[in-house]
Amino acid sequence: MSFRDYLNSLKSSSLLVEINEEVSLEGEVTEHLQAHDGKAVIFNNIIESQFPLVGNLLSSREQLKFILNGDKKFHDSFRDSLLNPLNPEVCNQSLTFENAFSSNLLSLPIPKFFEQEGGRYLTSGIIFSNFPGTDNPNLSIHRMMIIDNQRGAIRLVPRDLHNIFNYNCEKGEDTPIAIVVGYHPALALAASSPLIKGETELNIANSLLRGSLEVVRTPKYGIKVPTDVEFVLEGKILADQFIVEGPYVDITGTLDEMRKQPIVEIEQIYHRNNPIFQTILAAHNEHYILMGFPREVKIYSKVASVIPEVHDVYLTPEGSGWLSAIISISTEKKDGAKLAAKAAFEAHPSLKWCTIVDEDIDVWNREEVEWARITRAGEGDIEIINKVRGSSLDPSKNLDDKTSIRVIIDATKKKDRDQGGYEKVM
């Protein structure tokens, strides 16, 4: 399934909304995406750009069904792809390179989402950059604040691209990159997933796409990118130029701190005929799914290693798809719930709250989960661990040492206690 096929599937399933009226990039795109959270939105008449724009491409579990095998649990299906990567075929041509023009970032439909932000932000760009000494690209999504027609400030977190950048800086070299925009969401899921060392996210994306992914080399730097994407921006992260990036509304809906970040210089922009640009609205469902769902899979696998019956894992919107998990298990162990929670924290160190429930509680149903918390968590069932490594995204972290808390809520029925009242009669 290609990007265009995916859009057509959403449209036929009433999961895509078309906006034909004039829309400004200054806040109005945000209003429409918020109003239709859970459905893709395509803007056909952007005031400041000739290109249409689409957002909310993966903002619901209904949309996730088009990517993962509907006959299996979501987590199992995604884990199958992680365990069975497929090398994509390398081609010589791509429709993406039919049109080329010198960098003009301000002509692209890149929104300014919130008034408090430092500028227009490219949030959907998947950065492709080769691991040193290899022909294998790393894929990762990074926000980029637009500075001018050719430059942007990229937020680098201490992961693979940051390591690649530092490696090149030590040699006094810039880091060649290709930024892909307008892609099938399987590519974004793969780019958001923690992988074993040496694996490339391209192979995971190809597995998710049932082996249909093909790649081509970019004209200047020869970086392998998918053939069927709307835009490719080719350039480099400069080794010796930095600028203060931000403010930016991050996943928790609060302003992230401002930092000096590297500058990206775009040298050439390529696009297919009649292309569609793409955006991701922070602190809403698409952001939660792309950040959280791959971690749900990791949590699921880790908890299953200590508790054989794991029914579901959900990183909740209330926890910004990152900080709070609901896990459904079945266990005869007296301390099974706390074992499960500790495994979850090990799998996802940024996790702050972890609630363990029984199989009879629907992790997706907020009322049921809250009912279980209130009626099944009693004396000794809530544990607070202080001064632990916290998420950099947690606004309540200790600013001096960056630590936070971990909270375990055992909201399961207690088989070892001589009391009734745990069973739900209604």
Angle at 353 between CA 349 and CA 338, to 5 degrees: 85
Q: What DSSP character marks residue 14?
A: T
Q: Give the closest residue to 335 by CA, choosing from 300, 297, 306.
A: 306
Angle at 397 between CA 281 and CA 121, to 5 degrees: 25
CA distance 39 to 15: 5
Tell me the residue type at 367.
E
Residue of 250, 312, 358, 394 marked catalytic: 250
| Beta strands 151-154 and 144-146, pairing class | antiparallel
- Class of residue 156 by CB neighbours under 10 A (exposed 0-12, middle 13-18, buried 19+): buried
Q: Give the closest residue to 282 by CA, choosing from 424, 418, 155.
A: 155
Locus of tokens 């936070």: 404
CA distance 156 to 4: 30
User: Is 400 a catalytic site residue?
Assistant: no
CA distance 13 to 64: 13
CA distance 361 to 25: 42
- φ/ψ of 19, rounded to 5, equals -110, 115
Angle at 289 between CA 404 and CA 359, to 5 degrees: 80
Question: DSSP string of 185-249?
Answer: HHHHHHHTS---TT--HHHHHHHHTTT--EEEE-TTT--EEESS-SEEEEEEEEEEEEEEE--EE
Q: Give the closest residue to 213 by CA, choosing from 81, 63, 56, 98.
A: 81
CA distance 339 to 159: 28
Please name the residues in contact with 305: beta carbons below 8 A apart, sequence gap of 6 or more: 343
List, by residue number, the catalytic residues: 250
